[in-house]
Amino acid sequence: MEKEIIPTITGFDSIYEEGYEYLITVKISRPKKTIPDLYGDRYEYVSLVSKKKITN
């Protein structure tokens, strides 16, 4: 499975704490070919699967 960095996930900021690694479920909305969207793909936070403290 590839890790992907998403710049904005609507609703995720309500649970985010710096210093943790998250595995979450998101809903992806993609623009239709017939109706282009200026913003491209949109990501909406659905649920937290796991939260792990980052240790160096």
| pLDDT tens for each residue of 22-42 | 999 989 887 777 666 666 778
DSSP conformation class of 14: G
pTM tops 0.85, yes or no:
no
3-class secondary structure for 27-55?
Answer: EEECCCCCCCCCCCCEEEEEEEEEEEECC
User: Which secondary-structure segment (H or E) carries 20?
Assistant: strand 20-29
Selected residue with higher pLDDT from 34 and 10: 10
Average pLDDT over residues 42-55: 93
Does residue 18 surpass a pLDDT of 80?
A: yes
Residues in the chain: 56
